[in-house]
Structure 1
Amino acid sequence: MANEIKVSLREVQGQGASRRLRRAGSVPGIVYGGGREPAMVQFNHNEIWLAQHNEWFYSSIITLNLDGTTQQVLLRDLQRHPFKQQILHLDFQRVNANEVLVASVPLTFINEEISPAGKSADVTVSHELKDVTIACLPGNLPQSIEVDLSELKAGDMVYLSDLKLPEGVEIPALKLGADHNTAVVTAK
């Protein structure tokens, strides 16, 4: 899937200018990092609103198309209005293909319904985590990490160290010791 978003530079900045942009159907944002100066940009609100409903928007490399030139970026912050269906601001970090990046990736739980714990009426399967922080090169960044629960029995727990990670991907928390090997799924 080509995760490309069109963007244009914005000349004015400040609170009043950002309000005017939002009223005109745009979202102010910033693109920073990658050894270059930060760029003040604006996005089409409807395009961003539709994109933010997809998992890839939060956990994959996105291509920003700025007047024909492209930049590889990763979403770092998204600010929403407290009650309106409106995005207020976006922060993107430029990605260097040779630098390790740290990102949060969602967990996808599969085969829970066929596991012994999933079939039992008196067992509750709890998903303790919904995402995990990983470190990898941008080319190895997965959209999600699958957690196979087909062998889960009553009383079992799945820990971070039990996850099957794609090649080149690691969980930095596991380097901190056994105390950081958090439970991902419990069956009680």
Structure 2
Amino acid sequence: MKVVAFERSLQGTGASRRLRNTGKTPGIVYGANVDPKLIELDHNALYHALRKEAFHSSILDLEVGGTTEQVLLRDVQYHPFKQLVLHVDFLRVDPNHKIHMKIPLHFVNAEVSPAVKLGSGIVSHVMNEIEISCLPGKLPEFLEIDLSKLELGQSLHAKDVPLPQGVDLVPHVEQENPVIATVSVPAGAVSEEAAAAPAAGEAPAAS
């Protein structure tokens, strides 16, 4: 994805406020052992780009003054109640150094799983993103989780996520192996089962 920005020389609260009043958003690009660069971006274009999932988890081509460099979105500051982006940070990417990035999880095929289709279970997504490590050129836009074989009472963990070649979980996620999805029986269904089962010590009704 391409992002067009322009260099800015003024900084400070007053300069940023004047910039926003002209429909621009102040930002900065830093990293890769290069001096930070102050930039400004068209607010409306940036606002719409930020609504796209891929903008938050992909390598971006940032063009400033006719020069393009690869960056990652690192931080966004929003106004507390207005639809206004106050500031944005980009991190330069070194193609030869691994990056840590939170990647969206896309859950598919829950409706055809035994848990849902046969057991009337409810699938809960405990995590919607997961932190991975890889070279920039290996960065996936998202990771797909196939739930078609999910059984009642089963949980999926971080280590169950299929990772493309060259992509690894970051060490602390690997060690903790957190739950990413669970399936449970609806409370109503549990109550119905309890009502249908004979009470403890009670003999089944004679036919």
Provide TM-score, normalisation by structure 2.
0.86
Aligned Cα root-mean-square deviation (Å): 1.2
The aligned amino acid for 2:113 is: S
* Gap runs ≥5 in structure 2: 185-207
Q: Distance in 1 between matches of 2:54 and 2:174?
A: 29
Larger helix percent: 2
1:114 is aligned, of 112, 115, 126, to 112
Q: What secondary structure, in the 3-state scheme, does the structure 2 residue paired with 1:113 have?
A: helix
Please say if residues 27 and 87 of structure 2, whose CA atoms lie closer than 8 Å, have aligned partners that are also in contact.
Answer: yes
Equivalent residue pairs, number: 184
Matched residues, percent identical? 44
Q: Which has the larger Rg?
A: 2
Match of 1:98 in 2: 96
Which residue among 159, 162, 165 is the counterpart of 1:161?
159
Aligned 8 A contact 1:161 1:174 in 2: no
Hey, what's the Cα distance between the residues in 2 that align with 1:83 and 1:93?
27
In the alignment, is the contact (CA less than 8 A) between 2:112 and 2:148 conserved in 1?
yes
The answer to which of 110-119 and 140-149 deviates more is 110-119
Structure 2 residue 175 is the aligned partner of structure 1 residue 182: no
1:85 aligns with 2:83: yes
CA contact (8 A) 1:18 1:28 kept: yes
Report the equivalent of 2:191.
Answer: none
Contact persistence 2:131–2:173 (CA under 8 A): no
How far apart are the structure 2 equivalents of 1:35 and 1:77? 19
SS of 2:14's partner is helix
TM-score when scaled to structure 1? 0.94
Return the alpha-carbon distance in structure 2 between the equivalents of residues 127 and 106 of structure 1: 12
Change (3 A) 1:55 1:6: same
